Amino acid sequence: MKMLVFGHGYCAGFLTPLLTGRGWHVTGTTRGDCSRVAAAGAQPLLWPGQEDAVRTAIAQADAILVSAAPDGQGDPVLAAFAPDLARARPRWLGYLSTTGVYGDAAGGWVDEDTPPAPSTARGQARVRAETAWQDLARARDLPLHIFRLAGIYGPGRGPFAKLRRGTAQRVIKPGQVFSRIHVEDIAQVLLASIRAPDAGAVYNLCDDDPAPPQDVIAYAAQLLEMPVPPAVDFRTADLSPMARSFYSDSKRVRNDRIKRDLGVTLRHPDYRSALQAILRAEAGGS
């Protein structure tokens, strides 16, 4: 079985070993870091650069995962390869989107049946990309699955990395709450979907414990036995425009569908157990 990943990055780095361990051959596109893709066990292809090889991989793929984000011109994969994808016949096609498509719920709950109402330009671009993929899937009978990811964290990415770099802030915005998902759980959900395709399905990927971001930073600092960063008011916090935009949305995301339809049991159902597991792994434990 052959998998093609467009944008073989952090998430694909955890999915690829699960696939290769089951006999799959994985090819992943990258803009330049071929060694990182190869280290995960995938065959790297430069894109832009090796378009003909990418077209061959599309034609041969049993499964295709799109992990490339939309840009100012729309979805880059569709812009470059829509005719090739229209002729492809994968058994499974996955698109990684974001829970940002739901917009702001003022701290309330959303699920896959909640109509998208993005409040940021980034969320609006994701809705357009989802729609474009759905249009192609309907027109060409492609087995599309959409995965809406909450905030991604895991080894090397998340509160520990920020604390160690000295860039962590406990930004306080009253009522703010985020959902998040450990990268290992993203990988196991994708594998479960590949093994049990359900064309047209949309899944939220998040854990069971939406929480204020300042609580996560404080708990991570306690685990590292570092001082808890002081509280900073959101209005005066030193945040990049992108980081500030994340605070436009406050919502709790439901994940019942991945459990019910895919039979997934989360390895990391909340940030406390997940952060503890990351530290144990760093120390060489299980």
- Please give the domain boundaries of the chain with CATH numbers for all domains: 2-154+181-207+254-268 (3.40.50.720)
Interatomic CA distance for residues 44 and 67, integer angstroms: 15
Q: Is the pTM of this model over 0.95?
A: yes
> Does the N-terminal peptide bond of residue 48 adopt cis geometry, omega within 30 degrees of 0?
yes
What pairing do the DSSP bridges indicate for beta strands 180-182 and 252-253? unpaired
**In Å, what is the CA distance from 48 to each residue of 41, 64, 75, 239?**
21, 18, 14, 32
Euclidean distance between CA atoms 8 and 65, whole angstroms:
9
Which residue has 């998340």 as its token pair?
158
pLDDT in tens, the chain (286 residues): 999 999 999 999 999 999 999 999 999 999 999 999 999 999 999 999 999 999 999 999 999 999 999 998 999 999 999 999 999 999 999 999 999 999 999 999 999 999 999 999 999 999 999 999 999 999 999 999 999 999 999 999 999 999 999 999 999 999 999 999 999 999 999 999 999 999 999 999 999 999 999 999 999 999 999 999 999 999 999 899 988 999 999 999 999 999 999 999 999 999 999 999 999 988 886 5
